[in-house]
Amino acid sequence: MTPERFMNAIRFTLLLLVLGGLTACQHPHTPDHRDADLYQALGERAGIETMVENLLYLIVEDERIAFQFKGIDVAHFHRQLSDQICELSGGPCLYTGRKMRESHSAMAITETQFNALTENLILAMEQNRIPTGAQNRLLALLAPLHQDIRGL
């Protein structure tokens, strides 16, 4: 190995270490202080409820997923999802609905449908002017639910 190539190998290793270091800093989220500011950033209970309402409007307009929601008890769904987001974001709420795997198992949700819902959620947050950082933090809390919702 020439000295030049050796230096390059070192540089590359450093890049990997930085990468690895950042990964290691990804601690699992538990409702803590940091997440309580997330609850504030989402506009507290009222903000979350409007966001979920906006989400519902987007869902019924979206032909990729609207059919999955046909005939549901909309008020119940709105309350459950608001409770869940409120609790996850560190707010003073308690989600009392079913486990994600249980409530979604009969729907055979495809990846396309999951992406459609994620897209609508992001659009709903944008409609509510939730700052990018808070959007990302909420997505970080919801992304791990993917496996259960899709029944994988």
- Is residue 40 a contact point for other proteins (CB under 8 A)? no
Alpha-carbon distance of 131 to 108, in angstroms, equals: 33
Q: Cα separation of 140 and 29, whole Å?
A: 9
Contact 65, 117 (CB under 8 A): yes
Among residues 92 and 144, whose Cβ is nearest to other proteins?
144
Binding mask 76-115 for ligand HEM (x = CB under 6 A): -x--xx--x------------xx----xx--x-x---xx-
Position among 10, 11, 60, 72 found at the interface with other proteins (CB under 8 A): 11
- The tokens describing 133, both together, are 């950082």
> Is residue 24 at the binding interface for other proteins, with CB under 8 A as the rule?
no
- When binding is defined by CB under 6 A, the residue of 50, 68, 127, 135 that contacts ligand HEM is 68
Q: Shortest CA distance to 122 belongs to which of 134, 135, 111?
A: 135
Q: Is 110 in the site for other proteins (CB under 8 A)?
A: yes
Among 15, 16, 72, 140, binds ligand HEM (CB under 6 A): 72
Is residue 140 close enough to count as binding other proteins by CB under 8 A? Answer: yes
CB 43 within 8 A of CB 50: yes
State how far Cα 17 lies from the chain centre.
28
- When binding is defined by CB under 8 A, the residue of 10, 46, 66, 143 that contacts other proteins is 143
- List the structure tokens of 12: 């590359």
Cα–Cα distance for residue pair 142/95, rounded to 1 Å: 14
Residues interacting with ligand HEM, by CB under 6 A?
A: 65, 68-69, 72, 77, 80-81, 84, 97-98, 103-104, 107, 109, 113-114, 117, 142, 145, 149
